[in-house]
Amino acid sequence: MRRKIVLSAALTAVAVFGFAPVPVLANGDRVSVKDSYSPGTIVIRTGERRLYYFVGAGEAIRYPVGVGRAGMQWSGTASISGKYIEPAWSAPASIRRDYRSLPSVVPGGSSHNPMGAAAMTLSGGEYAIHGTNAPGSIGGFVSHGCIRMFNEDIMDLYSRVGVGTRVVVTR
């Protein structure tokens, strides 16, 4: 009976005072780095499965990511060419070959949409830095070349960068 009263009191406090659960925080850590990229540059180290967003000389925010599987990894320089919240997704031909039953378009916000909460497309190809509907894939070699982030992390990074941001991908 006492447990019921305590639970009832807690629920009443939530309703009356508007207490809400603490929001999920992004997983990015501020770290010191030896590289000397300009502030505002994104560097993805596929071997580490980490994305670094440079915020100052020798300082970056580091996020865990999922990267391309064996044979689907790439390296080079690109830039953010577009930014989208809950984008619809159409599988490129390279993915459609492996998954023939995919619908032509998966609506944004759908639990089946692999882009997650947001996506930032990269110049020069079919790749993007995006959220995911499979958070267990973060930290692995899992994609067809895109960079996957936890949804809270892509939203944090999305708020920090603009179209034109330089992206460097290394192995």
Q: What's the confidence (pLDDT) of residue 25?
A: 57
In this predicted structure, what is the pLDDT of residue 26? 77
Q: Which residues lie closer than 8 Å to 130 by C-beta, 6 or more apart?
A: 87, 114, 115, 116, 118, 119, 120, 146, 147, 148, 149, 154
Tell me the pTM: 0.82
Closest CA to 77 of 28, 44, 118: 44
* pLDDT at 157 (0 to 100): 98
Q: Please, what sign has the CA dihedral across residues 107, 111, 117, 119? A: negative
Q: How buried is 149 (Cβ within 10 angstroms: 0-12 exposed, 13-18 middle, 19+ buried)?
A: buried
Tell the burial category of 7 from Cβ atoms under 10 Å away from its Cβ (0-12, 13-18, 19+): exposed
* Residue 170 near residue 75, CB atoms below 8 Å: yes
Q: What integer pLDDT is reported at residue 27 of this predicted model? A: 81
CB within 8 A of 88, min separation 6: which ones? 105, 106, 107, 108, 113
Tell me the average confidence (pLDDT) per consecutive run of 10 residues in the chain, 171 residues long.
42 37 66 94 98 96 97 95 96 85 91 95 92 96 96 98 98 90
Active site residues: 130, 146
pLDDT at 165: 98
For the chain, domains (ranges, CATH) are 21-170 (2.40.440.10)
Nearest to 65 by CA among 110, 155, 130: 130
